[in-house]
Amino acid sequence: MLRSVVVITAIAFAHAPARAAETDRTKDGSLAVETADALTLKDAARKKEVPVKIYYPKTGGPYPVVVFSHGFGGNKDAFGPVGKHWASHGYVVIHPTHADGLGRKGPLKKDEPGAAPDPKQPPRAGGLMGGLNDPQKIADRVADIVLVLDSLDGLPKLVPGLKDKIDTDKVGVGGHSFGAYTAMLVGGVTADLGGEKGKSYADKRVKCILPVSGQGTGQQGLTDKSWAVLKVPMMVLTGTLDRGAGGQGVEWKKEPYAYSPPGDKYLVVIDGANHLSFGGGLGARSEDTTRCVKLASTAFWDSYLKGAADAKKYLQSDQLPKDTKGKCTLDKK
């Protein structure tokens, strides 16, 4: 397991009250949400600083932790509406900014690195693909997640509002695109990287993973054996218009579910969702998709980080497609 030497620097606070309590997991929960921003974790061993943004409930606790890894070219603001939503339902949600996203603001545009490719254009062999397949960049991303996990005990000293809020025994990791790949690796998915077959970055502190628009075989060292040893629960989220960096379609995006062993594995496919639809903040064109993401993901976290029997029963039923009026499908094994 990778470990990090941690130093934590200054923070700033913002406050955002949540709406009234709702039984519908697509709506904000009953907990008022606070935000810690301008927070930097320093990894002395790597001589690196990792900016993070944290959403957390104002009252109560301790709460499970969700670490969310952005896609290539994103940053800690990515999936903000979804992160706040999780926090309102009783989670401490931590969004790091990886080196491939430093300094950028706002969502990816269609012609930026990490965005869904133009179906009329041939796949890009260099540039983005080169960065996605670089073993050092991959290891560095995983190390960022490990740094966050190593920092959990120290965070309340710098963020007073986190005192008694963090349950370090209940940790889930999610991510979008390159972040989905990062989440899969720390959860136990293996890859052929740097001349090493079946390389593992598994961190035993991670109890479940949520890859959103993740990768299938033939890219970033993933093979049909990569998911064979995955022991933790996993929910795969994709869309019918979701495409990979090499132009691959939704069937490729389903492969993490298809190749994973049975037992607490889920596949949610959202009708009409493309690579940029999932995280919110893009207006009406992504509103229905984000609603599906919130409902499915919150039920998943509640099932495997809180042990909520009602949430587990919900995921085992056919209610999710009904509640989204057929906007998504749910497979489980």
Q: Cα-Cα-Cα-Cα dihedral of 88, 90, 92, 98, to 10°?
A: -60
- Is 95 domain-assigned? yes
Could you report the per-residue pLDDT of 216-268, keeping only the tens digit for each? Answer: 999 999 999 999 999 999 999 999 999 998 899 999 999 999 999 999 999 99
Three-state SS for 202? coil
Q: What is the mean pLDDT of residues 103-110?
A: 43
- Is 131 domain-assigned? yes
- Is 157 domain-assigned? yes
If pLDDT is split at 50, 70 and 90, which confidence band does 122 have?
very low
Number of structural domains in the chain: 1
- Is 213 domain-assigned? yes
- Is 21 domain-assigned? yes
pLDDT > 70 fraction of the chain, expressed in percent and rounded = 83
- Mean pLDDT of all residues in the chain? 86
Write the CATH number for 244. 3.40.50.1820
Domain that holds residue 41: 6-332
Spatial CA neighbour of 268 closest among 315, 223, 305, 306: 315
- Is 1 domain-assigned? no
Residue 119 clears pLDDT 60, i.e. is over it: no
Q: What is the mean pLDDT of residues 51-73?
A: 96
- Is 145 domain-assigned? yes
- Is 201 domain-assigned? yes
Angle in degrees, CA 263, 65, 18, rounded to 5: 115
Could you report the per-residue pLDDT of 296-314, keeping only the tens digit for each? Answer: 999 999 999 999 999 999 9
Phi, psi angle pair for 119, to nearest 5°? -65, -15
Residue pair 61/29 in contact by the 8 Å Cβ criterion = no
Q: Report how far apart, in Å, the C-alpha atoms of 170 and of each of 41, 66, 76, 230, 307 are.
A: 21, 9, 21, 18, 10
> Position 122: which residue type?
P
